[in-house]
Structure 1
Amino acid sequence: MKNAKLGLATLAMAFFAFSANAQQKETEHSNPNVRLGQKALLDGDFKGAATHLEKALPKEGSDPNVLYMLGYSQFHNGDFKKAADTFGKVVTLDAKNGTAYYYKAKATNNLAVQVDSKLSNANREQLLKTATEDYSKAIALNSSDSKLYQNRAIAYRDLGILVGTTGAANYNKAAATDAYNKAIADYEKLLSFDSSRKDIQKEVKKATVYRDNLK
């Protein structure tokens, strides 16, 4: 538990450094709720951070840095719908924020695969397609970030599983084959960065088996 708390605090500190730099190294934000939200992030208190940052709206709704902090907090709270919406606002205000595209995509992917969700297969399919598109936008901004390819591969794999399941309402063998091929391509891109990754080698083999066994 102690290590987990330390990990959250480290994430919050890394984020705070990003936010502070984006705000031109101002030591304090003029809005007290933003300041409280920043402090909560430093403490690894994502629920508290989200509460304070939500109170800063709508006044700070045009500040992409405040919205980023809110989306980041919502994501780590597991509020993936809210996080995806908030990061969507961030990229509308700042189209070159690759990290916001990454979190928007990751939150969207998480929404699509939640087993307790009442979403239809068609809605899940659209969410996964949106996730891959957002990862692609992030990659266009930072093509050397290996985690973007890995997460896009996961989204493609999830899409292949969804539309490649026999009997599913949106079953589509051609679409599933394409999704698995794209997942494999992204995994192979990862191996071009580090060919020693056994976990990724296994993912390539699994995606290949899934693709080759489509009915």
Structure 2
Amino acid sequence: MKINDLNILLRRLNTGVVIGMLCFTVLVAQGQTTETAPSNPHVRLGQKALIDGDFKAAAEHLQKALPAEANDPNVMYMLAYSQYQVGEYRKALDAFSKVIELRPDHESAYYYRGKANNILAVQTDTRISSSNREKMLNQAIVNYTKAIELNGEDVKYYQNRGIAYRDLGILRGTAGTANYDKTVATDAYNNSVIDFEQVLAMTPGKKDIQTELKKAKIYRDNLK
């Protein structure tokens, strides 16, 4: 892939996609030694679909590039991100895990694997046991923590980990449920408070996080 083509892609995608593709850009900049376009036609079509913002088509084309490109972290990241964007979170989890297997320092893959786990954990329209929801929330926390270890300057990692801790507190702190545990819920809310306070220290005045911080403290202080 030509670096110039990548720059065009990033400019044309919306802000949320740019954030998601940032680590992909770094991978290419570090790993590309020749400015050649992808030889695999499915990868080329997947790139074009990404430029056009058609994530469903991108996922379909990039999936067809496998297994030939399964060991290319750039291709796998584009596939995982496209699947995430169209709500195929379980498929995205597998693809992001492959990216991490190939590139253990890929902070964005950890971040989005955490987000996918968190989204699945709080979905109410699926039949998921409380124990599995808790497992996914803990996996989300682990992934956000790894992203923070790789880059402690990115505020969204703390913010999303705070949300995951809050969701864990809600799951374990709902009185009358079989998995109620005040101690576990209290610890989760305390960790949520720490992360939200860190977000505010890095970006003072964020109204949404100020609200989340107040809610986490109220939930914690009102545990039965």
Q: TM-score with structure 1 length normalisation?
A: 0.92
User: How far apart in 1 are the matches of 2:131 and 2:207?
Assistant: 34
Aligned alpha-carbon RMSD (Å) = 1.8
What is aligned with 1:21?
A: 29
Partner Cα separation in structure 2 for residue 22 and residue 38 of structure 1: 19
Higher mean C-alpha displacement, 191-200 vs 79-88: 191-200
The residue number in structure 2 matching 1:64 is 73
- The 5-angstrom pairing of residues 97-112 of structure 1 reads 97-112=106-121
Match of 1:9 among 3, 8, 13: 13
TM-score (ref. length: structure 2): 0.88
- Find the residue that maps to 2:147 and give its secondary structure: helix
Contact 1:37 1:48 in 2 (8 A): yes
- How far apart are 1:109 and its partner, in Å? 0.4
Deviation at 1:71, TM superposition (A): 0.3
Distance 2:35 2:173 in 1: 51
The answer to whether the 8 Å contact 1:12/1:42 transfers is: no
Unaligned stretches of 5+ residues in structure 1? 1-6
Q: CA deviation at 1:137?
A: 0.2
Give per-residue Cα distances to partners, 1:140-194, cap 9 Å, x unaligned.
0000000000000000000000111112221111110000000000000011112
Identical amino acids, percent of aligned pairs: 55
Q: CA deviation at 1:89?
A: 1.0
**Superposition pairs of residues 11-160 of structure 1, within 5 angstroms:** 11-12=16-17, 15=21, 18=25, 20-21=28-29, 23-24=31-32, 26-160=35-169
| CA distance 1:44–1:164, change in 2 (3 Å) | same
Q: Which runs of 5+ in 2 are unaligned?
A: 1-10
Question: Equivalents in 1 of 2:17, 2:51: separation in Å?
Answer: 5
Count of equivalent residues: 209
Residue type at the aligned position of 1:21: A
Distance 1:66 1:22, change over 3 A: farther
Cα displacement (A) at 1:23: 4.8
Map of 1:164 onto structure 2? 173
